A = this chain, B = another copy of it.
Amino acid sequence: MSLPTGLPVRDDLVGKKPYGAPQLLDVVRLNVNENPHPPSAGLVAALEKAVGEAATTLNRYPDRDAVALRADLAAYLTRQTGVPLDVGQVWAANGSNEVLQQVLQAFGGPGRTALGFEPSYSMHPLLSAGTSTGWVAVQRPADFVLTVELAVAAVREHRPDVVFLTTPNNPTGTETTHDVVRAVHEATSGMVVVDEAYAEFSDLPSATTLLAELPRLVVSRTMSKAFAMAGTRLGYLAASADVVDALQLVRLPYHLSALTQAAARTALAHEAELLGTVEAVKAQRDRMVAEIERLGLTVVPTQANFLLFGPFGDPARTWQALLDEGVLVRDVSTGPGLAGWLRVNAGTVDETTAFLRALATVVA
């Protein structure tokens, strides 16, 4: 990519590169934490039908408030977490990236700061930069697990306006306990965002169960992972109705297309089928953990559909060697606190086998 030289681009963008992992098609792709199970023929037919119905009025703008979809998401969260939620407590956008961007537009922005515990989802600082929100990075301990003491001390020291927590945390797979969420909420007057993109793979209860007691809590979710709908780009959150009202002040009007709304509702109606893949994914993840450890490597304990493995003296070289064997994993080793580590997500049985064979070859 050429630099935008000669253009009046913002100073803080000069020399930056776009976010994104390589998108290669002719390899085993285990690098972006996708669910490896494609929609069934039945679901594809249902999606065709739903989109076909939506298409008959595609000349019209979509429901600006996506009420039917948000009601379906609220009903799903109520089923999944046991917490009664209604449409006014749920918000949706084009991926959790857009949801989190809207949270930062409403509660962050110029003169305000967001704080995260790194290593974590690398979009959190980028979304902060994109909304001109200051970013405070606090380093996790060597085992990547947040303690109440560390989290509270960081929040008291930096007094952020938005705190990002994550459970399970990407890219480490580690969980964050509700004790930490409660203590951080108590220690701050700002918003507390718990990013639960991978929640359905975890044994931990959802932070949604804390909404009634923590008024500044936001729990973000996505249909890209367990729901196997990464191509649909549907992220959402649960929060108080006041928070959702505030987000409507910054959302772009008609931000969710009629097609997205129809497809996401169809996927939610096929919850059993889609979430039925979760146990298979976890089984391959557990198989990966056992086999990687058998090769003499270390795996960070994970509650997600991916894991950190290593350490490698030259992780970039190992990444390339795996790619040469036809398997694409994520080189996260240049990230904060991640020296030596690579990340891989669970695939199908065959994809997992391909990865384990490639790794055995590369390590040997």
Cα of A251 to Cα of B51 in the assembled complex, Å: 26
Known pairs A109-B132, A252-B98; A8 contacts B260 (CB<8 A): no
Q: Is the CB of B58 within 8 A of A107?
A: no
Measured between alpha carbons, how far is A17 from B248 in the docked complex, in Å? 8
Q: Is A62 an interface residue (CB 8 A)?
A: yes
Q: Give the nearest-CB partner of A189 in chain B.
A: B8
Nearest-neighbour CB distance to chain B for A124, whole angstroms, equals 13
B252 close to A95 (CB less than 8 A) = yes
Answer yes or no: A18 CB below 8 A from chain B CBs. yes
A23 to B62, CA, bound (A): 9
Interface size class of A (residues with CB under 8 A): 35 or more
**Nearest residue, chain B, Cβ from A234:** B257
Chain A, 41-58, CB within 8 A of any chain B CB: 43-45, 47-49, 51-52, 54-58
Given A59-B229, A60-B231, A245-B1, decide whether A94 and B257 contact each other with a Cβ distance below 8 A: yes
Docked-complex contact A97 and B248, CB < 8 angstroms: no
Docked pose: A54 CA to B232 CA in angstroms: 10
Contact partner of A231 (CB less than 8 A), chosen from B8, B61, B101, is B61
Closest chain-B Cβ to A48's Cβ sits at a distance in Å of 4
**A224-251 vs B, Cβ < 8 Å mask (1 yes, 0 no):** 1000111111000000111101101111
Distance A258 CA – B257 CA, assembled complex (angstroms): 12
Complex Cα–Cα for A10 and B249 (A)? 11
Smallest beta-carbon distance A268→chain B, Å: 14
The 5 closest A-B pairs by CB, nearest first: A231-B258, A4-B246, A59-B228, A233-B257, A58-B231
Can you list 16 contacts pairing A with B, beta carbon distance less than 8 Å? A2-B241, A4-B106, A5-B242, A7-B191, A7-B243, A9-B246, A18-B253, A29-B60, A38-B58, A39-B56, A47-B55, A58-B263, A61-B231, A127-B252, A231-B257, A231-B258
